[in-house]
Amino acid sequence: MDPIPEGNGRFATRTQRDAAPLAPAYQQASLPPRNNERDIPLTSFTEFTLRASSQRALRTMQITEPTPIQASTIPPLLEGRDVIGEAYTGSGKTLAFALPLIETIDEDSRALQALVLVPTRELAQQVGGVIKQLTPGTAIHVAILFGGQAIGPQQEKLRHGCQVVVGTPGRILDHLARRSIRFDTTSYVVLDEADQMLDRGFAPDVERILATTPRDRQTCLFSATTPEWVQTVAARYLNDPLIIQASVEDGDEPDIEHEVCEIWHEEKFSVLRRLLDEATEGATLVFGRTKHGVRSLGMKLERLGYPVDVLQGNLSQPQRDRVLNRFRDGSVPILVATNVAARGLDVLHIGRVINYELPETHELFTHRVGRTGRMGRAGRAITLLGPADLPKWHEIERGLGRKLPRITPDGEPVKELEPAAVARASHFSGRFGRRRSRSRA
């Protein structure tokens, strides 16, 4: 979904004409007047109507100026509007919904008042951590619920009363089944990483959870990518939502240098080793596609002496925590991971991302490369292409709406192949791969 510039602003709502094909339930509106009815950007958090404890927490966090997504979404959220917010990863989306969430809480009541649904355990910990940073000096209690941990302590925490719950759909449904949680008093609901939360895999669970919440709740969706089908599905859950999208202009886009490397006569693994042997600033995150693939790749690198850890969905929660803690503190500078690390991995010192294998969609590509170049830092995104990868890469480029220049492993520019040549190369690679497999067997 292309960003929509409007005048000199960096954010804009979709027009009625643009939104009409998506869902008739949408009634689009322009951003409400801000800053005492003056349509000028908010430049300081002191201009928001926040409780004193929130202002103190922001000063403690050394946050003084709102990012563009925060300046555009916090005012309508404080007014009680439903919002769909889209901005690149690392742009401050969590604080954009967390601050209004805190402002809605009635501290005199221990009833559950706010729910944040996230797709992964790591993101639950990150989002819950940000919200907890805003609660010192208040009587607000936050519960973080996800699988891989004993459910008993979570039930005990819920029994004592929590106004805010951050959790993954699977564990939330577990608590609903055990009747240790109820949402009839919940007035503020967030779907973080909305494109994944409303995809076919999560959507049935999310819908079951939302069905237990009041119909008059305030609901907001946030993600780095919001495909049109997300907006269509979201029409069932939101009331007259304001859609706010990031417009990529000078100074707003993450500082990420893209390198797309075509590998024809060398194996990807040898090129990966050459990259890992380069001196580089910051940590390196290497993405594979499957759990077995990243385990195998991590073991090969470890046997060769590389300081590497592996993150994939089959690890227990303590194992995942240990891997992430070592990666965060810099004791392990290389992490090989599946797409489980594409969302919610907020490690600022990741200097480069290497796509050893391509993701399934351009949205996942955006989330992967967004792990670097965060919060104003520079980063590199390196994508390795074999002959069989070119058709999928063209799909990703079409989804991104742009072509990225390709180079050889030696850094020489690559001339764009004609589509027929790409098809022949892919066919040859497939036949060659099958022949090698039969000979090995």
pLDDT tens-digit series, residues 93-142: 899 999 999 999 999 999 999 999 999 888 999 899 999 999 999 999 99
Q: Is the pLDDT of residue 80 over 60?
A: yes
What are the pLDDT digits (tens) for 317-360?
A: 888 889 988 998 889 999 999 988 877 677 778 999 999 999 99
What are the pLDDT digits (tens) for 282-297?
A: 899 999 999 999 999 9
Q: Are 323 and 298 in contact (CB under 8 A)?
A: no
**Structure confidence at residue 12 as a pLDDT band (50, 70, 90):** very low
What backbone phi and psi angles, to 5 degrees, belong to 137? 85, 5
The strand pairing partners of 116, in sequence order, are 166, 190
What is the H or E stretch that residue 350 is in?
Answer: strand 350-355
Q: Which domains does the chain show, CATH number per domain?
A: 11-246 (3.40.50.300), 255-435 (3.40.50.300)
Q: Are 357 and 293 in contact (CB under 8 A)?
A: yes
The whole-angstrom distance between residue 42's C-alpha and the CA centroid of its chain comes to 25
Q: Is the pLDDT of residue 38 over 60?
A: no
**What are the distances in angstroms from CA 295 to CA 121, 271, 354?**
20, 19, 16
Residue whose C-alpha is closest to residue 327's, from 303, 349, 343: 349
By DSSP bridging, strand 164-167 and strand 255-262 are: unpaired
More confident residue, 91 or 397: 397
Q: Is the pLDDT of residue 275 over 50?
A: yes
DSSP 152-181: HHHHHHHHH--SEEEE-HHHHHHHHHHTS-
**AA identity, residue 321:** D
By DSSP bridging, strand 334-337 and strand 283-287 are: parallel
The whole-angstrom distance between residue 87's C-alpha and the CA centroid of its chain comes to 10
Burial-class residue 441 by CB neighbours within 10 Å (0-12, 13-18, 19+).
Answer: exposed
State the pTM of this model.
0.68
Token digits of residue 184 = 């009839």
Measured CA to CA, the distance from residue 341 to residue 323 in angstroms comes to 11
Tell me, what DSSP letter sits at residue 244?
E
Residue whose C-alpha is closest to residue 10's, from 277, 194, 250: 250
Per-residue confidence (pLDDT) for residue 344, from 0 to 100: 65
Q: Is the pLDDT of residue 56 over 70?
A: yes
Tell me, what DSSP letter sits at residue 344?
S
**Mean pLDDT for the chain overall:** 81
Helix (H, G, I), strand (E, B) or coil at 97: helix
More confident residue, 383 or 34: 383
What are the pLDDT digits (tens) for 349-367?
A: 899 999 999 999 888 898 8
